[in-house]
Chains A and B, each alone.
Chain A
Amino acid sequence: MARKLQKEPRANDDRQICPHCGTRVPYDPAAAPSVATTGSTGQGGSEGDTATIQFHVTGMMGGHCEVNITKALMGTPGVQQAVVTSATENARIEYVPGAVSPQQLKRVIQDLGYGVAERAEGQEALDRERAARQRETRRQLINMAIAWPVGIVVMLGTFQPYWFLPSLIPQWLNDKVVLFLLTTPIVFGPGRQFFVNSWNGLKHGITDMNLLYATGIGAAYLIAVINTFWPEAGFGGREATFYEAAVLLTAFIVLGRYLEAVTMGRTSEAIRRLMKLQPRRARVMRDGQEVEIAAEEVQINDLLLVKPGESIPVDGLIQEGYSSVDQSMITGESMPVEKKAGDEVIGATLNKTGAFTFRATKVGKDTALAQIIKLVEEAQTRKAPIQKLADRVAGQFILGVHALALTVFLFWFFLGYGLWFTPESHLMLTPYTLAAMGVFGFALLTSVSVLIISCPCAVGMATPAAMMAGTGKAAEHGILFKGADAIEATSKLQFVVFDKTGTLTKGQPSVTDVVALGGAEEDVLRLAAIAEKNSEHPLGEAIVRGAQAQGLTLEDASGFNAIPGHGIEARVDGRWVLLGNRRLMALKGIPLAAALPEAERLETEGKTAMFVAADGQLLGMVAVADTLKDTSAQAVKALQGMGMKVAMITGDNQRTAAAIAAKLGIDRVLAEVLPEDKANELKKLQAEEYRVAMVGDGINDAPALAQANVGIAIGSGTDVAKETGHVILIKDDLMDVIAAIQVARRTMGLVKENLVWAFGYNTLAIPLGAGLLYPFFAQVVSPELAALLMAVSSLSVTLNTQRMRGFVPPVRRLRKGAGAPANDLAPVAGQ
């Protein structure tokens, strides 16, 4: 709080500080766009209140632009936090209303040379983003269409006197003035953007990749012009005009820009594909009539009709009918799911076989699809720690490169040229000799080569492109990462802690065993169910459900009496029936000795045994337990096979918990843990240096989900759990925990590969550009070769990112192949 007040001492003042002169000017709140206002401190008072606004920023080209805009925004008084993401063209700014206005924030971004508009939502945002992306792609395509043909002509003209070219190329094309006339429109046409952008940045004290491009192209062009019109100036004369370097450099950089635009456009397609799932029309029953309306006009509680082959317009509960529904687009399930009255249906899923009516429970922004789209959008605006590090390094890298270019220039000017220069030396892969090149021309050549060759444009897109591809791919499989940070954290997990009830188990007790001492099992269950018919206790409800499932007829009991902490007694068929624990039987004087060994066996298996007696005689027992989900054991086994530690956390007693853990193969059990202590148990594991995931579903899991390195909320869980979790599994299938880890690991692998392609190339190529090989081979890198290497780097990152498109988590491949839950998990375990 103190720090906040220091930064914004008069946050609630109705005037704002001018960022340029520091004076206060009136602020008109009515002129501001709508923003979300939050109390950021939670300590009351308006002084610490902040608002958040999002802008749609155009013209960004990678991480450097993000760093530049973030720096400029953070340098503006009143700004608390700024997160800029070029991949989604988004700037999210937390600021103090009154200290700075949205208009001023827009101006800060505009002054840097970027386009800025208030962020639209939903389809409008997507359309705007797509239009901007298409404009940029088209612009760079036109630039390429101009630069490449002219570049090839200039190159052929430059090399006309060499090899076999004199017989093919007319001599006039080698005229330096003709080459000048061909090159100039390229440098100031397609290449103009780099000069304008770098100047806009420099005005604000910001260096970016454009500066590297501008200095590289500018220097090559300038040397060529000087050698054309003033050949005696000492830059190598007419034999060393680098027009083809200037023009090919422009062409290669424009190619890199085009690839970036295409890559980013493709990665944001994930959201667009989700949007397209939204059905346009809905059949609603109004006054008994079927009426077709727009899907967005559906209201909660409307009764809707869905026919075979139609998409389900909104979320709801089936009232009548039966069908199978293809939910693969939302949950990633490969097989259609059978649906009957009382079952939930999800909007945007496809009805396959039968017709049914359902009542709308969630519409508009509350539907599962709308929530998924929102989460994916938000996820793509958040940065992973590795991306922040890459951005920071890239920002410093550019500055370092200019310092290195200066050092290289001074070295070759004062020392290297005198020591090693020979007139026979030449540029790599060209027929040029550097015979007439003076000390300044040579030192400048190496300096410019360093600038061009070290351009880290591929670094800017290496991480965001992979992260966007990863979040999109995960969403296709029903796994929602709430941000790139969640992906990175998930990829590093070592320990997975499962909540028991509702996560490993179905969360709904059911009858597992009926033991009859002499009579029929059916009679024992029927009497118990009739006695419990009016009970609201979960165990009683389970017994009633169990009896109904067996088709038993349950009459009403004529008398009922609950004995708290013990059980119940009820009058059935003229007899008093007792149902309860040992204490109840002891209270009523019923001998238990004959049933005790069996009761203990059931309890050891994690079941709750209830004794049934009538007319003073023990009839038998009914055992109730929460049953395991189909995939729980497989998921645990697969995780263990991946080398991860697995634990179960529960409030149950040690014996029951140990029995369930044994069934699942879990060796670490955290039992008798109160809900409020779950987070503390996770803290203990984290103190053991484990990176821990908590998988849970309930409100009582929320603190533990928040405490975990990665909180994974499952689809059947509460909204609170989903809100708190870092990863949401849309389906109620624990195998998706494995799929989430596999997607995260693959994505991070892609990020690292991309960074190696981008940074590794720079690291290796800089010494070449600086002339390290020159003393040994008398060759230096030509500017156009440097540009080619740079473009290859961008191309490598682009192609590498595309590999994510065909990725299917191995666990999914396995299950799809089996057509059912996998039995053999060895291949998964190997992942």
Chain B
Amino acid sequence: MKRPGLVSALIYTSVALVAAGAFLGVTLAGDYTWVARGGGTAWVFGLCMIVLMPIVTPLVSARVKARMVSEQGGNHG
């Protein structure tokens, strides 16, 4: 996992897409206009990204750092 930024982006984008998809799925079952469905899906996706980015990015970076340290420790030892 040499590119933590890319890995993070893949994770939070995927989760946000799933959440936005779920929102769209629920609205399809109800009586909503397409503007409401589309706008709502975009807003949910945006907020999910904003919430997930600062959570996922440090977690992935920490794992990369830990792995790097353990590899270097192995090389030393």
A residues sitting closer than 8 Å to B (CB atoms) are 6-7, 9-10, 17, 20-22, 71, 75, 77, 202, 204-207, 211, 215, 233-235, 399, 402-403, 405-406, 409-410, 413-414, 438-440, 443-444, 447
Chain B residues positioned under 8 Å from A409 (CB to CB): 40, 43-44, 47
Q: Mark B57-69, 1 if CB is under 8 A from A, else 0.
A: 1100110110011
- Residue in A9, A204, A207, A439 whose beta carbon sits within 8 Å of that of B50 in the complex: A207
Most B C-beta atoms less than 10 A away, residue of A6, A22, A77, A444: A22
Chain B residue nearest in CB terms to A440: B36
- What residues of A have a CB within 8 angstroms of the CB of B65 in the complex? 75, 77
> Which residues of chain B are within 8 angstroms of A413 by Cβ–Cβ distance?
36, 40
Q: Inside 8 A of A438's CB, which chain B residues have their CB? A: 33, 35-36
Q: Are A405 and B47 in contact (CB under 8 A)?
A: yes
Chain B: interface residue count, which band?
35 or more
- Closest chain A residue, CB of each to CB of B57: A205
Q: Who on chain A is nearest to B39 by CB?
A: A440
Q: Report the Cα distance A405→B43, complex, angstroms.
A: 10
A406 to B50, CA, bound (A): 10
Knowing A22-B68, A409-B43, say if A402 contacts B51 (CB, 8 Å).
Answer: yes
Across the interface, A9 reaches (CB within 8 A) one of B26, B56, B69, namely B69
Total A-B residue pairs with C-beta atoms closer than 8 Å?
A: 85
Q: Chain B nearest CB: distance from A208 CB in Å?
A: 10
Is B17 part of the binding interface, using a Cβ–Cβ cutoff of 8 Å? Answer: no
Residues of chain B with a CB closer than 8 A to A403's CB: 47, 51
Q: Establish whether residues A6 and B69, one from each chain, have CB atoms under 8 Å apart when the complex forms.
A: yes
Known: A21-B3, A202-B50, A406-B47. 9 other contacts (CB 8 A): A6-B73, A10-B76, A75-B65, A204-B57, A205-B56, A205-B58, A235-B39, A399-B54, A413-B40
**Cβ-closest chain B residue relative to A406:** B47
Whether A75 pairs with B61 at a CB distance below 8 angstroms is: yes
User: Could you pull out 22 A-B pairs where Cβ atoms are within 8 angstroms?
Assistant: A6-B73, A9-B69, A10-B76, A17-B68, A20-B5, A75-B65, A77-B68, A205-B8, A207-B53, A211-B50, A215-B46, A215-B50, A233-B35, A399-B54, A403-B51, A409-B40, A409-B43, A410-B23, A414-B26, A438-B36, A440-B32, A447-B47
B15-28 Cβ-contact flags toward A at 8 Å (1 or 0): 00000000100100
In the bound assembly, the distance between CA atoms of A405 and B76 in angstroms comes to 49
Set A17, A21, A202, A235: member contacting B2, Cβ < 8 A? A21
A635 to chain B: closest CB distance in Å? 50
Instruction: List, in ascending order, chain B residues with CB within 8 A of A6's CB.
Output: 69, 73
Query: Which A residues are CB-close (under 8 A) to B39?
Result: 235, 440, 444
Instruction: Chain A residues near B57: list those with CB within 8 A.
Output: 204-205
CB distance from A200 to the nearest CB of B (A): 13
Contact A234 to B33, CB < 8 A, known contacts A6-B69, A10-B72, A71-B58: yes
3 closest A-B pairs by beta carbon, nearest first, are: A205-B57, A440-B36, A406-B47
Complex formed: what's the CA distance from A75 to B55 in Å?
Answer: 14
Cα–Cα, bound, A215→B47 (Å):
10
The residue of chain A having its C-beta at the shortest distance from the C-beta of B38 within the complex is A440
Which chain B residue lies CB-closest to A205?
A: B57
A93 to B51, CA, bound (A): 29
Residue of A nearest to B33 (CB): A234
Q: Which residue of B lies closest to A203 (CB)?
A: B5
The answer to whether B69 and A7 have CB atoms under 8 Å apart is: yes
Q: Whole-angstrom distance from the CB of A14 to the nearest CB of chain B?
A: 15
Residue in B closest to A21 when the chains form the complex, CB atoms: B2
A405 contacts across to B, CB distance below 8 A: 47
A591 and B45 alpha carbons, distance in the complex (Å): 102
- With beta carbons under 8 angstroms apart, the residue of A406, A414, A440 that contacts B48 is A406
| Closest A residue to B53 using CB positions | A205
CB of A440 within 8 A of CB of B35, answer: yes
Q: Which residue of A lies closest to B62 (CB)?
A: A75
Q: State A147–B35 Cα separation when bound (angstroms).
A: 32
Closest chain B CB from A451 CB (angstroms): 9
Cβ-closest chain B residue relative to A396: B54
Nearest chain-A residue to B34 (Cβ)?
A234
Q: Are A22 and B47 in contact (CB under 8 A)?
A: no
Which A residues touch B36, using CB under 8 A?
A: 234, 413, 438-440
In the complex, chain A residues whose CB is within 8 Å of the CB of B2: 21-22
Contact (Cβ within 8 A) B43 A447 = yes
How far is A413 from B44 in the complex, measured between Cα atoms in Å? Answer: 11
Q: Are A9 and B76 in contact (CB under 8 A)?
A: yes
Q: In the complex the two chains form, what is the Cα distance from A633 to B5 in whole Å?
A: 65
Q: How far is the CB of B61 from chain A (nearest CB, A)?
A: 5
Q: Which residues of A contact B53 (CB under 8 A)?
A: 202, 205, 207
| B35/A22 in contact, CB under 8 A | no
Query: Once bound together, how far apart are the Cα atoms of A233 and B40, in whole Å?
Result: 13
Neighbouring B residues of A207 by C-beta, 8 Å: 50, 53-54
- Given known contacts A21-B2, A234-B33, A402 and B43 CB-to-CB distance under 8 angstroms: no
Nearest neighbor of B35 in chain A, beta-carbon distance = A234
Nearest Cβ distance between residue B18 and chain A, in whole angstroms?
A: 14
Q: How far is the CB of A399 from chain B (nearest CB, A)?
A: 6
Q: Which residues of A have CB within 8 Å of B55?
A: 399
Residues of A within 8 Å of B48, CB to CB, are 406
Smallest CB gap from B5: residue in A: A20
CB distance A443 to B72 under 8 Å? Answer: no
Chain B residues within 8 Å of A215, by CB: 46, 50
Chain B residues near A17: list those with CB within 8 A.
68
Nearest CB in chain B: distance from A498 CB, A: 48
Taken together as a complex, chains A and B put the C-alpha atoms of A195 and B48 apart, in Å, by: 18
CA distance A170 to B20 in the complex (A): 45
Are the CB atoms of A406 and B44 closer together than 8 Å? yes
Within the assembled complex, what's the spacing in Å between the Cα atoms of A625 and B72? 67
What's the minimum C-beta distance from B65 to chain A, rounded to whole angstroms? 6
